[in-house]
C-alpha cells in the first residue's frame, strides 16, 4: 500500500545487515527511515558458517540467518524487510553458492526486494567511511586494503588480502610469524634473533623445537601465528630492537597497502580491525609511514564496524541512495524475483 500523504515512504520498513566471518555470524536490523541507521536489535552467533567444496555453504548460512531475521524483526516490532546486505569473509572467491541461492531464498522467506552480497572488506569500508571516496585497511589475523573514488570507471581497488602464505603483510599472522622466526633465530644462535621473543615463545608454546608440529598440520595456522603478535608488541614496547623492527615493518606494509588503493588527492583513509588495538607501539610508526606514503591523505577514525557497514549498505539500497560501486565479486546488487 502506498504511504499516506505526508507519511515517510520508509516508515515501517526494516533493513538487515549481516556480517559473517571466522568468529561467527552477526545479524542486525535497523529502521529504513533512520538516517543514522542505528541497530534496533542484534543477534550474535559464535558458530562460523561452514566452507565446503562449493565455497561458503549457503545452506548453513540460511539455517542461521532465516530464524535470526524472524526473531529480530519481531524484536523490532514487526515490519517489512526492504533490503538485506550480507557481508562475508571470502565472498569474492568463495561466494558462488551464496550468489546462486540467497536471492531466491530471501525473496521467498521475506519478500526481500533488494539484496547486496558483499565481501567483508567492502562492508568494513562502508562501516569505516560510509559512502565517501577513500581507502580503508582492515587488519586482524589477516590484512586487506580497499579503496574507491566512487566512479564506475574507477570501481574498487584492492591490495593484499592474499592469505598468510602469499601476503597479508603487516597483519597479526604476519607479525606473529616474524616474531616466531626471530625466536627460532635466537634459539639457533643465528643473527637477527631475539632472546626476549624466544622467552615469550617458550612461555606460550613450550619448547620451540616443538613448534613445527604445533603449526604445520593445523588448519587454523593463521590464527595460531596471530596469537603471538601481542607478544611481539609487548617486546617492542619494552624496547627490544628486533621486535620494534618487526612492528615498524608491519606499519610500513600497512601504509603501502593503503597507498596502493587510495584515490589521488586529499582522500579519507581509515584503519579498522583488531590489530590496531595494539596501541601506540603500532600506531606511532603507522602514522609516520602514512604521512610519508600518503602526504595528502586525511586520516579519519573508522566510524563503525563491518556490521554497521552492512546495515548502511542495506539502508542506502532500500532508499535508492547507494553510490558505492557495484561489482560481480565484491558488491553484487540484485533484485530477487519472488
- pLDDT for residue 99 is more than 70: yes
If you write DSSP's letter for every residue of 25-56 in order, what string do you get? EEEEEEETT-TT--EEEEEEE--PPPEETTEE
Residue 199 CA neighbour count, 13 Å, CB half: 7
Question: 258-312: per-residue pLDDT in tens?
Answer: 999 999 989 999 999 999 999 999 999 999 999 999 999 999 999 999 999 999 9
| 32 has pLDDT over 80 | yes
**Distances from the Cα of 180 to the Cαs of 127, 222, 247, 338, in angstroms?**
33, 13, 13, 53
| pTM: predicted TM-score of the whole model, two decimal places | 0.86
- Residue keyed to cell 566510524: 303
Tell me if 254 sits within 8 A of 260, measured CB to CB: no
pLDDT at 285: 97
Task: Tell whether the model's pLDDT for residue 116 goes beyond 60.
Answer: yes
Per-residue pLDDT at 140 exceeds 60: yes
Cα 26 to Cα 61: distance, rounded to the nearest angstrom: 11
pLDDT at 136: 96
Total Cβ atoms within 10 A of residue 235: 25
- Among candidates 233, 272, 310, 273, which has minimal Cα distance to 134? 272
Lowest mean pLDDT among 62-66, 131-135, 196-200, 331-335: 331-335
Q: What is the pLDDT of residues 158-210, one digit of tens each?
A: 999 888 889 999 999 999 999 999 999 999 999 999 999 999 999 999 999 99
- The predicted structure's pLDDT at residue 335: 67
Contact yes or no for 27/72 (Cβ under 8 A): yes
pLDDT at 337: 46
Which residue, among 62, 23, 71, has the nearest Cα to 43 in the 3D structure?
Answer: 71
Amino acid at each position: 500500500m502506498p504511504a499516506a500523504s505526508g507519511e515517510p515512504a520508509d516508515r515501517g520498513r526494516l533493513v538487515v545487515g549481516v556480517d559473517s566471518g571466522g568468529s561467527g555470524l552477526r545479524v542486525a536490523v535497523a529502521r529504513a527511515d533512520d538516517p543514522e541507521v542505528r541497530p534496533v536489535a542484534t543477534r550474535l552467533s559464535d558458530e562460523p558458517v561452514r566452507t565446503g567444496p562449493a565455497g561458503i555453504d549457503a545452506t548453513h548460512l540460511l539455517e542461521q540467518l532465516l530464524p535470526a531475521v524472524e526473531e529480530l524483526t519481531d524484536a523490532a516490532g514487526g515490519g517489512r524487510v526492504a533490503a538485506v546486505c550480507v557481508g562475508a569473509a571470502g565472498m569474492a572467491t568463495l561466494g558462488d553458492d551464496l550468489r546462486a541461492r540467497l536471492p531466491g531464498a530471501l525473496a521467498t522467506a521475506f519478500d526481500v526486494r533488494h539484496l547486496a552480497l558483499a565481501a567483508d572488506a567492502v562492508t568494513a569500508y562502508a562501516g569505516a567511511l560510509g559512502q565517501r571516496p577513500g581507502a580503508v585497511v582492515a587488519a586482524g589475523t589477516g590484512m586487506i586494503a580497499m579503496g574507491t573514488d566512487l566512479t564506475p570507471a574507477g570501481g574498487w581497488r584492492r591490495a593484499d588480502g592474499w592469505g598468510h602464505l602469499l601476503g597479508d603483510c603487516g597483519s597479526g599472522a604476519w607479525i606473529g610469524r616474524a616474531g616466531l622466526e626471530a625466536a627460532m633465530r635466537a634459539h639457533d644462535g643465528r643473527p637477527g634473533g631475539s632472546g626476549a621473543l624466544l622467552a615469550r615463545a617458550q612461555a606460550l608454546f613450550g619448547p620451540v623445537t616443538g613448534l613445527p608440529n604445533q603449526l604445520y598440520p593445523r588448519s587454523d595456522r593463521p590464527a595460531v601465528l596471530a596469537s603471538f603478535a601481542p607478544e611481539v608488541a609487548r617486546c617492542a614496547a619494552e624496547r627490544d630492537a628486533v621486535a620494534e623492527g618487526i612492528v615498524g615493518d608491519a606499519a610500513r606494509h600497512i601504509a603501502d597497502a593503503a597507498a596502493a588503493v587510495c584515490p589521488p588527492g586529499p582522500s579519507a583513509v581509515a584503519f579498522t580491525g583488531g590489530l590496531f588495538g595494539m596501541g601506540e607501539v603500532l600506531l606511532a610508526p603507522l602514522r609516520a609511514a602514512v604521512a610519508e606514503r600518503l602526504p595528502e591523505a586525511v586520516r579519519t577514525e573508522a566510524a563503525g564496524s563491518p556490521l554497521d557497514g552492512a546495515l548502511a549498505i542495506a539502508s542506502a539500497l532500500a532508499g535508492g541512495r547507494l553510490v558505492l560501486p557495484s561489482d560481480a565479486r565484491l558488491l553484487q546488487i540484485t533484485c530477487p524475483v519472488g
